[in-house]
Amino acid sequence: MTNVNQWLPLVRRPRRLRRSQAIRDLVRETVLLPNRLVLPQFIMEGDDTAQAIDAMPGRYRMTIDRTIAECKEAMTLGVQSFALFPLVSESLKTNDGRQALNSDNLVCRSIHAIKEACPGACVITDVALDPYSNVGHDGIVSPQGTVLNDETVEVLAKMAVVQAKAGADIVAPSDMMDGRVKAIRAALDESGFVEVGILSYTAKYASSFYGPFRQALESAPVDAPNVPKDKKTYQMDPANSREAIAEAMLDEAEGADMIMVKPGLPYLDIIHLLRSQTTLPIAAYHVSGEYAMVKAAAKLGWLDGEACMRESLVALARAGANVIFTYAALDYARSWRESFA
């Protein structure tokens, strides 16, 4: 056989480091452990009930007892952090979201129960009014149809304190109102919750990928006079990237402990950009639409769902995300465990 080096004298052959699984594992640059994942939980009133979410196969609205059972399972798989999102009764929804300030509301009772049943869990709570709003917005809407910034921030600061009192480890303002991180940090500190962290949704885009989430919580903006049809006056324009740097610098200066990019995969460049701008941990939200697309294509046999989901999450970590919110947390953790069985 002809010596190929006579006509292809290569000193470097990158394929040498791909020739076996052991070698590929040895030189892998990004390793995503289950303990870097956050499992979002949709909670509902009642007992021993789970309602399937049509647009999110494998995920459910669950009562507190069912949620605790899933948290316990997740922790045996290495997933230790949980983000709570409540399905609020229509009868309790108001424009000012006052139910969010009720210390006995669904979220607060869930925090108590999860922390008691799973003391090692990290409980992250959403700070925004949309689950509690009768018009489906993250803030208070004026009679003229404007989402009011400062009035909303006042409510959000109180909401964060209520959640901290219930036992939340981290509060996560997802509303995109200006100045809310500063107000929440001050309110927490003044109330004695200096150790409660803030994970700010820093670069939350006005994305079309949120549909299944809004279906799960019945929280989409309502079609009514003087109610904005979308959230573009407060969530970011998908065309912008430098704006994310400005938001990150403001949140860091105001006291954020972590920052969030949402959605995840369509905004890998934003994650990477912010990674070069801040030393704060960066979270990425692998959102409901991203999850649903993979599940739907897998159901039709068009792709390997498990492999594609795993690739998606690793891509978020590779881009610079330290923390990943994903509905596939349990699937990923089970796959991780099986790979070492």
**CATH classification of the domain holding 222:** 3.20.20.70
Within 10 angstroms of residue 337's Cβ, the number of other Cβ atoms is 13
Strand 37-44 and strand 60-63: pairing?
A: parallel
293, amino acid identity: M
Task: Establish if 17 belongs to a structural domain.
Answer: no
3-state secondary structure of 309: helix
Query: Which pLDDT belongs to residue 183?
Result: 98
DSSP-assigned beta bridge partners for residue 167: none
User: What's the CA gap between 312 and 319, in Å, rounded?
Assistant: 11
Task: Establish if 335 belongs to a structural domain.
Answer: yes
* Residue 295 annotated to the active site: no
Q: Are 312 and 294 in contact (CB under 8 A)?
A: yes
Task: Establish if 177 belongs to a structural domain.
Answer: yes
Mean pLDDT of the region 53-74: 97
Cα four-point dihedral sign 169, 174, 175, 176: positive
User: What's the CA gap between 40 and 12, in Å, rounded?
Assistant: 45
Query: Which pLDDT belongs to residue 9?
Result: 78
Q: Assess whether pLDDT exceeds 60 at residue 67.
A: yes
CA 107 to chain centre: 16
Tokens 């979220």 belong to which residue? 107
User: What's the CA gap between 192 and 103, in Å, rounded?
Assistant: 17
Q: Assess whether pLDDT exceeds 60 at residue 210.
A: yes
Task: Establish if 19 belongs to a structural domain.
Answer: no
Q: Binning pLDDT at 50, 70 and 90, where does residue 116 land?
A: very high
Query: Which pLDDT belongs to residue 323?
Result: 98
Task: Establish if 165 belongs to a structural domain.
Answer: yes
Task: Establish if 230 belongs to a structural domain.
Answer: yes
Q: Assess whether pLDDT exceeds 60 at residue 319.
A: yes
- Structure confidence by residue, pLDDT tens digits, 90-103: 999 999 999 999 99
Task: Establish if 21 belongs to a structural domain.
Answer: no
Report residue 303: phi and psi, to 5°.
Answer: -155, 170
Q: Assess whether pLDDT exceeds 90 at residue 266.
A: yes
Mean pLDDT of the region 286-313: 97
**Residues sharing a CB contact under 8 Å with residue 141, sequence separation 6 or more, in sequence order:** 95, 133, 135, 147, 148, 226, 227, 228
The domain containing residue 279 runs over which residues? 31-339
Task: Establish if 315 belongs to a structural domain.
Answer: yes
Q: Are 337 and 77 in contact (CB under 8 A)?
A: yes
Active-site position among 182, 231, 262, 295: 262
Instruction: Calculate the CA dihedral of residues 97, 101, 103, 104 and round it to 10 degrees.
Output: -10
Locate 273 and state its tokens. Answer: 């950009």
Total residues belonging to the chain: 341
Percent of the chain with pLDDT over 70: 97
Q: Assess whether pLDDT exceeds 70 at residue 66.
A: yes
Q: Are 153 and 160 in contact (CB under 8 A)?
A: no
User: What's the CA gap between 39 and 73, in Å, rounded?
Assistant: 12
As for how many domains the chain has, the answer is: 1
> pTM (2 decimals)?
0.95
Mean pLDDT, rounded, of the chain: 96
* Residue 231 annotated to the active site: no
Q: Assess whether pLDDT exceeds 80 at residue 7.
A: no
Q: Assess whether pLDDT exceeds 90 at residue 277.
A: yes
Q: Assess whether pLDDT exceeds 70 at residue 24.
A: yes
Q: Are 122 and 110 in contact (CB under 8 A)?
A: no
DSSP-assigned beta bridge partners for residue 323: 283
- Structure confidence by residue, pLDDT tens digits, 140-198: 999 999 999 999 999 999 999 999 999 999 999 999 999 999 999 999 999 999 999 99
Q: Assess whether pLDDT exceeds 80 at residue 226.
A: yes
- Structure confidence by residue, pLDDT tens digits, 306-317: 999 999 999 999
Active-site position among 182, 204, 231, 295: 204
Query: Which pLDDT belongs to residue 4?
Result: 58
Q: Assess whether pLDDT exceeds 90 at residue 11.
A: no
Query: Which pLDDT belongs to residue 341?
Result: 61
Strand 147-148 and strand 140-141: pairing?
A: antiparallel
